[in-house]
Amino acid sequence: MVAAYAGAVDIEKYPIHELDSRRGRDLVSWCRAQLAEDGCCTLGGFLLPAAIDEMVRISGELDGKAWVTDRPHNIYFTPPAQDVPPDDPRAHLERSAKHGIAYDYIPATAPVRRLYESPELTRFVAAALGKDVLYRSADPLDAFQITRFYPGEELGWHFDNSEFSVTIMYQMPEAGGEFEYVPALRSDADSNYAGIEEVLQGRARASVKLQESAPGTFALFHGHHALHRVTMVRGSRPRINSVLTYGDRPGMKLSPLTSELFYGRVS
């Protein structure tokens, strides 16, 4: 039943393979409560140590295949506004720099690729997010990938275009590389440019939260209304994690433009 990801997930602690059991229902309820509280749910120790080690090893072997991006952007991923003061969030520029390893380079035997491709994980993610059904991305490069942030690399403040994200952490650097977020900083009804500017200018540190990021942590995150970033990596070893991509509809893929940007090619 769980052969596809046996040995990868601590299913004693997180019974994603039996969501209809009492313990499975409790797990889903707990995830939903965490998401309702501040838009973030982390499951520490989700991956077993051997699977973490294997993903770190595989990502190191694929390092030469990584596509490097380093670019400025505003927090909305829109063209920066010209007709507002320079400190306005719509004009403010951030920097994102990372190494991305595409799905098609990751071996089919990689423990977290097997986990991603299992129907049990897709069902669990849907249940935790309160959805009837979800579909894995159909993108051959982006559906499941590995990101390596080297020293000096970072992910600038931004809001996600997508409703939620799913990540699994493999390795943290010696310093930096923290996932910071400010829950519910905007809503569909309120753009809250003034509140956002406070965060961007570093004047609202008390409202900034840190996502749990120990190796093996599984995280669900509502990033559409929460401003978030990964701080600059320091030290000598990279920060390594995976993003697992899902959609409400089957067959979802990156646009050719986005695929070129993230992976340097179109599938």
Site of interaction with Fe ion (CB under 5 A): 160, 223
Q: Which is nearer to Fe ion, 13 or 71 (CB)?
A: 71
Of 10 and 76, the one with the shorter C-beta distance to Fe ion is: 76
Beta carbon of residue 159, minimum distance to Fe ion (angstroms, whole number): 8
Name the residue with the smallest CB distance to Fe ion: 160
Name the minimum Å distance from CB 262 to Fe ion. 13
CB of 19 to Fe ion, least distance (A): 27
Residue number, 53 or 160, with CB nearest to Fe ion: 160
Nearer to Fe ion, 19 or 97 (CB): 97
Minimum separation from the CB atom of position 199 to Fe ion (A): 15
- C-beta of 233: minimal distance to Fe ion in Å? 16
Q: Which is nearer to Fe ion, 147 or 171 (CB)?
A: 147
Count Cβ atoms below 10 Å from residue 83 Cβ, excluding itself.
Answer: 7
